[in-house]
Structure 1
Amino acid sequence: MKKKILFIIFLIFLYGCSYFQVKDAIKEAENGNYVVSLNNLLEILKEKNDDRRALDAFEIIYPEAEKKYYDELDVSREWDIVRYTKALLNLLRIQDIYYKLPENSKNSIAIIEPPVKERDGIKKELAQSFYTLGIGSRDVTYEEKLRAYGYFSQAEQYNIENRKDIKEKYLSSQKKALGKFLLDFKGEKSLVLQLKEGIKSNLSKYPLFSLGNKSNYNLKLDVDISEIKYLPPRVTTESGIDSYTERVIKRVLERVVETKIINGQSVQVERVVPVDKEVEVEIYYRYFIHTKKTSMEYYISHNLYEKNSTPISSEKKKIIYEDSVSWTEYYPLSPFIGARPFRFPISEGEKYVLSKEVLKEKVIELGNNHLDMILNRLDSNRIIAW
């Protein structure tokens, strides 16, 4: 593999344009991330079908990936179903990448197109593997039911034979994994009402979740809003002295020597005369930095559990939104002589923070995001992210 990679790097230097993209793809392949590597090359070839560097890299990396995943299947077939299933998935993924190549790119590389029959065989194996994983998983708690549904939904996705046993398990596990939420919110009314409406809206984003009622639910979510605090705008000020150098025209007294004729003789006379001259002066000034802050915060506690009181998650979190602005004022330490110095800093006007009403909207949005995260974390149990 290393000799082949060195050859590709040579080609990269030889040609030029997509150097960094191909280099990144090679690095991913060296780290064993073949799917990422080939996907990166696919994106290059979609833009430029005949990119020689990408084609050469694909032609070398694809067979390496194929061998890697076939080897994984051989060593895990009898003893590690999870590893075996992951290898099947990755093998199918790299074949999918090959099929997505532009026709010009396919015709420019020496790779045999994966037969449709072989791909169908992989899908059948995947359906069986996920079905086996589903059969072997517990489905006592709600989170376990979600995981079992995740396996059976994957089995159904690859169920090209339309097997009845897979279809039945998929439908029955889906029914068990449906989550009907009974919501109980307590605390400050104006926040509670909006947060409750927010989570009701968010439930619709999740295919298995819905709103239940007291006579029909299997999940209970208790939410308590407490310790609400609003800090009105307050200003703190810090001051200091600073300076800068500026070139200015300044009238100064200079001694000059003049030659005069007195009584017929040349005499040098010295006198002091005012002269306008460009000089460097240090301009000192005092600055005042004003900082205005306001904030709103509260605590949101939740307790999520099943109808039979089996706990799922519990947490107390501080929700806070702070807004701050700053502005600076500048004052000379001594009165200006003549015109104001050209570069003297300009004072800023007072700035304003968010109103109490807008702050409230912000903390409600943060609270909604937090509650949605709870739903998302629960829903993730059904996601087989391999």
Structure 2
Amino acid sequence: MKKIYLMLILIVTLCSCSYFQVKDAIKEADRGNYVASLNSLLSVLREDSEDRRALDAFELIYPSAEKKYYDELDLSRGIDIVRYTKALLNLLRVQEAYYNLPEISKKSVAVVKPPIQERNSIKKELAQNFYDLGMRMKPVTYEEKLRTYGYFSQAKKYDLNGRKDIKSKYNSSRESALGRFYLNFTGERRYFVDSSKERVQKNLESYPLFSLSNSKNYNLRYDVNISNVNYLPPKTMSYSGIDSYIEKVIKKVMEKVVETKVVDGKTVQVEKWVPVEKVVEVEVFYRYVEYIKETSMSYDLSYALKEKNGTVIKENKKKIAFKDRVNWVEYYPLNPILGFRPINFPVSEYEKYVLSREAMEEKVLQLGNDELDGVLKELDSNRIIDW
């Protein structure tokens, strides 16, 4: 692969906007990330089907990618079904990258076209492997039920024959993986409690298997408590000091000059002082006052996500806090020089304002909701086979 990288560096030049995309794709291939590399090149060729750099890179990387995953299949066949299935998936993705090329690009790359029959055979094998992985699961906990559904979902995705056994297991595993939530929100501030509950109810709508349930017909319980709500009104602190800067100005100064004159037939030198304009440096001193205004709001959030039988899926307690802070500075002249008006004197800033209490409440509620939604997202990730 190092040789491929060096060869392609000679091919690629800086005269194209696709240079960096192709360069990054080469780096991905050099690290062994062939699927990401080929998909990146595919993206370039969809924009310009005759991009010579991308075509040359695709032509050199594709055979190495196929070989890697064929070798993986040989090493794991009959030994490790997970490793074997991952290799099958990657081989299919590599071949799909070729099939998705624009027709002009396909004609321009010297790549052996993967047979359609082989691609279909891979899909059928994937469907069988995911079905077998699903059948191996013993779904006792809810998270295991989600994982089981994930395997059968993949089996259904790659099933080309409409197998009844796959469809049946997909349907039954989906029914088993449905999450019916009972939300139990408590706390000391009614507005915070009600608003948090409404947000979580809205979050549930974005997950395909989750829904809201009543206090009887549920299989998941989400207990949330809000306490120690604390709001610190805006408080302003100030700090002052003295500083200076150098300013160059044109100033009239008296300068001694010597003139030569002829008096009574003799040459004499006469000294006198005359006003002249010169650029001089003046140190301007000033006093500054820096104001810092802060406000904050926080509360303690504790939550526990459990199955109906009491099995804990996730629980935690943390402080949710948000602070808003602004600052501004005012400047005042110090010991002004008579007859001198500084040009570059710092300009004082106007007073700035922090968020209102209502806006602060919205901020901490959103932070708390992100925490609670993260628990749902983590739970839902069990159904996704993201190999």
TM-score exceeds 0.5: yes
Match of 1:184 in 2: 184
Between the aligned partners of 1:377 and 1:255, the Cα distance in structure 2 is 85
Secondary structure, aligned partner of 2:324: strand
1:371: which partner in 2? 372
Paired position in structure 1 for 2:167: 167
1:127–1:158 CA contact under 8 A, matched in 2 = yes
Say whether residues 1:203 and 2:204 are aligned partners: yes
Q: Partner residue of 1:328? A: 329
Give 1:266 shift. Answer: 7.0
Report the counterpart of residue 156 of structure 2 in structure 1.
156
Unaligned runs of 5+ in 2: none
Q: CA deviation at 1:116?
A: 1.8
- Cα distance in 2 for partners of 1:255, 1:30 equals 77
Alpha-carbon distance between aligned partners in 2 of 1:15 and 1:332, rounded to the nearest angstrom: 56
Code of the residue aligned with 1:184 in structure 2: it is: N
How far the C-alpha of 1:14 sits from its partner, in A, is 9.9
Residues 175-324 of structure 1 mapped to structure 2, 5 A cutoff: 175-187=175-187, 188-257=189-258, 269-324=270-325
Moved more, 317-326 or 254-263: 254-263
Q: Which residue of 2 aligns with 1:35?
A: 35
Q: Which residue of 2 aligns with 1:69?
A: 69
Q: Could you tell me the percent identity over the aligned residues?
A: 62
Q: Which amino acid aligns with 2:228?
A: E
Deviation track 1:224-260 (CA, whole Å, cap 9, x = no partner) reads: 0011111111122222222211122334333345677
Moved more, 8-17 or 208-217: 8-17
Unaligned runs of 5+ in 1: none
Give the structure 2 partner of residue 83 of structure 1. Answer: 83
* SS, match of residue 107 in structure 1: helix
Deviation for aligned residue 1:94 = 1.1
What one-letter code is carried by the residue in structure 1 that aligns with 2:279? E
In structure 2, the residue matched to 1:114 is: 114
Distance 1:271 1:212, change over 3 A: same
The 1:116–1:251 alpha-carbon spacing in structure 2 relative to 1, beyond 3 Å, is same
Question: 1:157 corresponds to which letter in structure 2?
Answer: K
Q: Which TM-score applies when normalising by structure 2?
A: 0.94
Tell me which amino acid in the other structure corresponds to 2:37.
S
Secondary structure of the 2:139 match is coil
Helix, strand or coil at the partner of 2:108: coil
- The code of the aligned residue for 2:323 comes to E
TM-score, normalised relative to structure 1: 0.94
In the alignment, the residues of structure 2 paired with residue 258 and residue 13 of structure 1 have an alpha-carbon distance, to the nearest angstrom, of 71
Residue identity opposite 1:149 in structure 2: Y
More displaced stretch, 252-261 vs 50-59: 252-261
**In the alignment, is residue 22 of structure 1 matched against residue 22 of structure 2?**
yes
RMSD: 2.0
Count the aligned residue pairs.
386
- Partner Cα distance (1:37, 1:267) in 2: 91
- Kept in 1: contact 2:5–2:27 (CA 8 A): no
Partner AA of 2:249 in structure 1 = V
- In 2, the alpha carbon distance for the partners of 1:106 and 1:58 equals 10
* Gap change, CA 1:20 and 1:261, over 3 Å in 2: closer
User: Given the superposition, is the C-alpha separation of residues 245 and 2 from structure 1 closer, same or farther in structure 2, using an over 3 Å criterion?
Assistant: closer
| Comparing 271-280 and 211-220, the one that deviates more | 271-280
Partner of 1:51: 51
CA distance in 1, matches of 2:341, 2:228: 53
**Structure 2 CA distance, aligned partners of 1:260 and 1:138?**
118
